[in-house]
């Protein structure tokens, strides 16, 4: 019998409880042992909910019970999650979490503590919700050098951008609608400013490049500056705008960034719409591989958490080898990150001036009512610093990097 304790009975915790109950015989057969939830920790009471039978309010009950084999941390935030997970690992319990803040900040250290105690620390649900991406990255893509990861890793912003594109609605209107539908938080900052995606790409970059990539070092731009006019231009060039988390290795230097990108139709991320997430990984031998699915929500996220529980049970005292060293990976600067740029500048009849500053560019005809006031174009591949230099003499309306 494997005893599981779930810390937090919120959206993900209640999903984990339900999956272990509803699919119990299937999960237990796959794990090779009977799995049951012995405790659920939450400060609240849930009168009438079957969880009452196993509900506790004191974490010490869980930590001091040697029958508890696996602790599932689904509370979110750094504290007390960090203290609880560390304590569980030190007590010889495996830990599984969906908490991207915790993993991005303390993942390498918690992996070390797990190894010292011959248990496991798993975090499949921390990136891409229900999409299997962590396990494929550490267990399947072991042969390839990862050249680049590009991911749509935030459902809220993908929903907003999709609505702006399909309905021509402006950012504020769509955000309000997303909040009313429950897709966006009342305080949407973490999503719309790119902070959520930043933690997720930091985790993937740390795993792909085997050293700690600090999320604080990742240049992060949100989607608040994207307008319906930008999307009008996208229609005329057959492209879309997506908030991408990118990690890239180029001549020995690792780069990482979160920003809106112009994505053309030949990129498989182009068709990822609404709240869906997708992560495109480019290996030097394999080429492109994409992982697509639901990046949030109770049951999809909980499904990934329970898959970690099954994995931890199957390993039975052996720690998975996960290469993520605590040593910090120094990132290349945003000024050296190279992409083409989509640019809108004030003024007409300034093609020669644009060519002499940016070199060869592809001009795009302005759409509708903005015709006559501005000039739009796509540059060749430029480093961030080259773009800034070339743009200095123009009144920039917007500039968005182009995925290449």
Q: Which helix (H) or strand (E) holds 94?
A: strand 94-97
**Min separation Cβ 155 and ligand HSE, Å:** 4
340 belongs to the binding site for ligand HSE (CB under 6 A): no
Query: Looking only at residues 125 through 144 of this chain, which bind ligand HSE when binding is defined by CB under 6 A?
Result: 129
Residue closer to ligand HSE (CB basis): 129 or 151: 129
Residue closer to ligand HSE (CB basis): 247 or 390: 247
267 belongs to the binding site for ligand HSE (CB under 6 A): no
Residues with Cβ within 8 Å of residue 352, at least 6 apart in sequence = none
Q: What are 380's two structure tokens?
A: 């060749």
Binding track, positions 155-194, relative to ligand HSE; x by CB under 6 A:
xx----------------------------------x---
List, in sequence order, every residue forming a beta bridge with 261; answer none if it has no partner.
242, 401
User: Given 100, 163, 200, 242, which residue is catalytic?
Assistant: 200
8 belongs to the binding site for ligand HSE (CB under 6 A): no
Q: Give residue 258's region: left, alpha or beta (phi > 0; psi -120 to 50).
A: beta
Contact status, residue 101 vs residue 78, Cβ threshold 8 Å:
yes
Verify whether residue 200 is a known catalytic residue. Answer: yes
DSSP H stretches of helix in 170-254: 171-180, 189-192, 195-209, 228-237
The angle at the Cα of 335, spanning 332 to 339, to the nearest 5 degrees, equals 95
Closest residue to ligand HSE: CB criterion: 156
Residue closer to ligand HSE (CB basis): 196 or 386: 196
15 belongs to the binding site for ligand HSE (CB under 6 A): no
Burial class (CB in 10 A: 0-12, 13-18, 19+), 22: exposed
124 belongs to the binding site for ligand HSE (CB under 6 A): no
Q: Site size for ligand HSE, by CB under 6 A?
A: 8
Residues with Cβ within 8 Å of residue 26, at least 6 apart in sequence = none
- By CB under 6 A, name the binding residues for ligand HSE: 129, 154-156, 191, 196, 295-296
Q: Annotated catalytic sites, by residue?
A: 200
């Amino acid at each position: 019998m494997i005893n599981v304790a779930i810390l937090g009975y919120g959206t993900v915790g209640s999903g984990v409880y339900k999956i272990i109950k509803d699919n119990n015989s299937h999960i237990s057969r796959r794990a090779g042992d009977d799995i049951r939830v012995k405790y659920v920790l939450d400060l609240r009471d849930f009168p009438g909910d079957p969880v009452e039978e196993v509900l506790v309010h004191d974490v010490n009950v869980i930590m001091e019970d040697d029958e508890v084999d696996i602790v599932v941390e689904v509370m979110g935030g750094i504290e007390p999650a960090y203290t609880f997970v560390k304590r569980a690992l030190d007590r010889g319990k495996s830990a599984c979490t969906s908490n991207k803040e915790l993993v991005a900040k303390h993942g390498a250290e918690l992996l070390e503590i797990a190894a010292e105690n011959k248990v496991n620390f798993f975090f499949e649900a921390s990136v891409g919700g229900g999409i299997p991406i962590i396990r494929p990255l550490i267990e399947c893509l072991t042969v390839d050098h990862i050249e680049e990861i590009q991911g749509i890793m935030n459902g809220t912003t993908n929903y907003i951008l999709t609505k702006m594109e399909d309905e021509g609605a402006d950012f504020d209107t769509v955000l309000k609608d997303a909040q009313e539908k429950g897709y966006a938080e009342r305080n949407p900052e973490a999503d719309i400013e790119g902070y959520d995606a930043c933690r997720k790409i930091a985790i993937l970059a740390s795993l792909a490049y085997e050293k700690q990539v600090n999320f604080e070092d990742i240049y992060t731009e949100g989607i608040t500056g994207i307008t319906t006019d930008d999307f009008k231009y996208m229609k005329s060039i057959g492209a879309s705008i997506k908030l991408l988390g990118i990690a890239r290795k180029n001549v020995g230097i690792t780069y990482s960034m979160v920003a809106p990108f112009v994505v053309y139709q030949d990129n498989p991320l182009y068709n990822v719409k609404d709240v869906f997430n997708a992560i495109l990984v480019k290996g030097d031998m394999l080429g492109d591989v994409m992982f697509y699915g639901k990046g949030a929500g109770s049951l999809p996220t909980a499904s990934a958490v329970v898959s970690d529980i099954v994995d931890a049970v199957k390993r039975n005292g052996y720690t998975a080898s996960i290469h993520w060293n605590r040593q910090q990976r120094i990132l290349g600067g945003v000024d050296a990150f190279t992409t083409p740029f989509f640019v809108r500048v004030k003024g007409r009849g300034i093609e020669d001036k644009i060519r002499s500053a940016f070199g060869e560019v592809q001009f795009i005809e302005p759409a509708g009512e903005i015709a006559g006031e501005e000039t739009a174009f796509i540059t060749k591949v430029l480093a961030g610093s080259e773009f800034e230099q070339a743009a200095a003499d123009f009144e920039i309306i917007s500039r968005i990097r182009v995925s290449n």
